[in-house]
A and B are shown apart, each in its own frame.
Chain A
Amino acid sequence: MTTVALKSYGKVAVAIVIALIMLLPFVYLLLGALASTFSLTGTIDLSSYRLTFANFATLFARAELYLPLVNSIAVAVIVTLGNLFFCTLCGYVLARRKFRGKGFLMVTVVLILMVPVHVVIIPLYLMTNWLGIFDSYLALILPFLVSPLGIFLMRQYISAIPPDMEDSARLEGASELTIIWRIVIPLCKPALAVLAVQTFMVNWNSFIYPFILTSSESMRTLPVALALLQGYQNIDVPQLFAASVISVLPTTLLFAAYSKKITEGIIAGALKG
């Protein structure tokens, strides 16, 4: 009995040590963001430490930081809504119909998931230039409105639902859009929740696409602004840390509220292959 208890204490101790290794860098980030002063070497002087929200206040007074915040929110929300809608439509057709070229479409969905995306940054840049959408909201939104992962997820989920209700609705003369809106979407709520959380997180944290597809300061998203403002003369570390905390905040809140949905989404995304 006592050895079992001891063993259990030992395990908890190990678990706590690992947890500290994982969390201490974020504690440092938070303390830094709330610090009134910061030493030049990047350490926090605890003897003169005073908690302050001043860094957050100045941050909102600076256009180079609050504009990216607004951009990030707008892009992530629009892309998420777009994915919920378009991936459902596409997944529905792929789950329910038989047609020539369906196999090809399914293969593209899986293949694009495997393609090393960073390989196409140059032609993607040229393409947005050619379409005339470079450095605009359209460049940040259009390429990502419908994602292969989302289509895959929705197709799998809809395939598992028996089509009986759709068939009877169709017999009563309902249009396809009505069927999707009234029958398919309500049944797909769990899958849509997973897709929403997943898409929001990915796009909120996305760096390389918004970085290469925009050039002006006012079009930057939060990760891009953070990366480019680092090492800048008139931005100090606590302000940068405050902006970082704001960037981490939605992810943390979503994670705290929907950790199960997030893990489900990640496992679904990983197991598709």
Chain B
Amino acid sequence: MTANSTQRLRFSDYFFLSPWVITLILFWLSPIVASLFLSFTDYRLLGASYSFVGFDNFAQLFRDTTFTKAIANTFIFTIGTLPFTTCFAILLAIFLNGRLPFKTFFQSVYFFPSMVSLVVVALIFTSLYARGGYIQLLCGLVGAPYPQEGFLFSTATALAAVMAMDIWMATGYYMLLFLAALQSIPNELYEAARLDGASAWRQFRAITLPHLKPMLLFIVVLNSIKSFQIFVEVFVMTKGGPLNSTNTMVYFVYEEGLQKFNIGYGAAAANILFAVIAIVSWLELKLIKDKTA
């Protein structure tokens, strides 16, 4: 029997592949195409008919102050969490990669928050951030100022509070990825550097950082794709409030499309988000690649 005949597609293979092909068509490709199509219509769920409106939805979106606020908040959220999460994750990974008793235990503990349902974490922090809650008590203890009405009810602190929780939760996850990358660096490199009398900082700059670059690039892209889609935290903790100060792009899409059933309008907002994510990921890939080259 030749290799070719065993590699030929068999009758049964069509059945084996069909679950993915059907899932792909029904639940992935069609929705993506439908989303594009709908964004150029004034389709409403309860409306009897719809018509093409060209770029009207998009033009209207950029005049919609709720939407522009949502875009701004989404960018603030991403720019304000990503660098912190990444830095903390690298530091923790380096910390755990050194000599430390009970290493696996600590690794598991640091990673644990990112294993838990986001809804549960958001519920815990809603209570912690509440008026008279533990975070206010903590602020009082160290003499830091805090809003009397609770962190999630003040336009000045609500978004920052959600961001802080997110950094706390996500750090362990990225730490684990960095740790895997660190463990793939050959130890001989460090030994040679030590023999040459290189300082810890120089070792980090000359050996660790270049080896972490591919993982760093990947994590920055992955983390921003995730951050741009922030929704659950907003839904559970603030419902976009107070005064839209925590409204984000996916929350806007949800409210317009699935609460008010302005399907066409919501789909247009979703497509803008899609474009933003695509452009940002592309820029990040380009920027970091150019720097390493």
List of 3 A-B pairs having minimum Cβ-Cβ separation, nearest first: A41-B132, A123-B31, A89-B16
Q: Does B153 contact A (CB under 8 A)?
A: no
A73 at the interface (CB under 8 A from B): no
Taking CB atoms, residues of chain B closer than 8 Å to A116 are 225, 228-229, 273-274, 277
B100 to chain A, nearest CB (A): 6
A interface majority secondary structure: helix
Residues of B within 8 A of A21 (CB): 168
Q: Which residue of A lies closest to B127 (CB)?
A: A42
Q: Which residue on chain B has the smallest CB distance to residue A263?
A: B176
Which residues of chain B (116-134) have a CB below 8 Å from chain A?
A: 116-128, 130-134
| Interface pair B100/A11, CB less than 8 Å apart | yes
B108 touches A255 (CB 8 A): yes
Is A161 an interface position by the 8 A CB rule? no
Grouping DSSP codes into helix (H, G, I), strand (E, B) and loop, the B interface class, with mixed when no group exceeds half, is helix
Q: Verify A227–B20 contact, CB threshold 8 A.
A: no
How many residues on A have C-beta within 8 angstroms of the other chain's C-beta atoms?
91
State the Cβ distance, B96 to closest chain A Cβ, in Å: 8
- When distances are taken between beta carbons in the complex, the residues of chain B under 8 Å from A26 are 112-113, 116, 124
Q: Report how far A237 CA is from B98 CA in the complex, Å.
A: 41
Q: Are B106 and A43 in contact (CB under 8 A)?
A: no
Residues of A within 8 A of B228 (CB): 116
> What residues of B have a CB within 8 angstroms of the CB of A248 in the complex?
116-117, 120
Interface 9-residue window, one of A54-62, A168-176, A187-195: A168-176
Residues on the A chain within 8 Å of B288, using CB: none
Once the chains bind, are B27 and A207 in contact (CB under 8 Å)? no
Among B15, B113, B137, B225, contact of A114 (Cβ-Cβ < 8 Å): B225
A and B contact pairs by CB, cutoff 8 A, 13 listed: A19-B109, A22-B110, A22-B172, A42-B132, A42-B133, A93-B17, A120-B28, A121-B250, A122-B38, A146-B23, A223-B119, A247-B120, A252-B112
* Residues of A close to B21: CB separation below 8 A: 105
B292 part of interface (Cβ distance < 8 Å): no
Contact with B along A217-242 (1 / 0, CB 8 A): 00000111011001000000100110
Q: Is A122 a contact of B110 with CB atoms below 8 Å?
A: no
Q: How far is the CB of B75 from chain A (nearest CB, A)?
A: 15
Using a Cβ cutoff of 8 Å, how many contacts connect chains A and B? 257
Residues of B within 8 Å of A53, CB to CB, are: none
| Interface pair B117/A204, CB less than 8 Å apart | yes
A18 at the interface (CB under 8 A from B): yes
The answer to the question of A110 belonging to the interface, with a C-beta cut-off of 8 Å to chain B, is: no
Q: Which residues of A contact B12 (CB under 8 A)?
A: 175-177
Say yes or no: B270 contacts A122, CB within 8 Å. Answer: yes
Residues of A within 8 A of B132 (CB): 39-43
B19 within 8 A of A: yes
A12 with B101, Cβ < 8 A, contacts A122-B253, A126-B263, A177-B12 known: yes
A132 touches B (CB below 8 Å): no
Contacts of B243 on A, CB cut-off 8 Å? Answer: none
B222 close to A270 (CB less than 8 A): yes
Instruction: Give every chain B residue within 8 A of A263 (Cβ-Cβ).
Output: 111, 176
**Cβ < 8 Å to A, chain B residues 23-60:** 23-24, 26-32, 34-35, 38
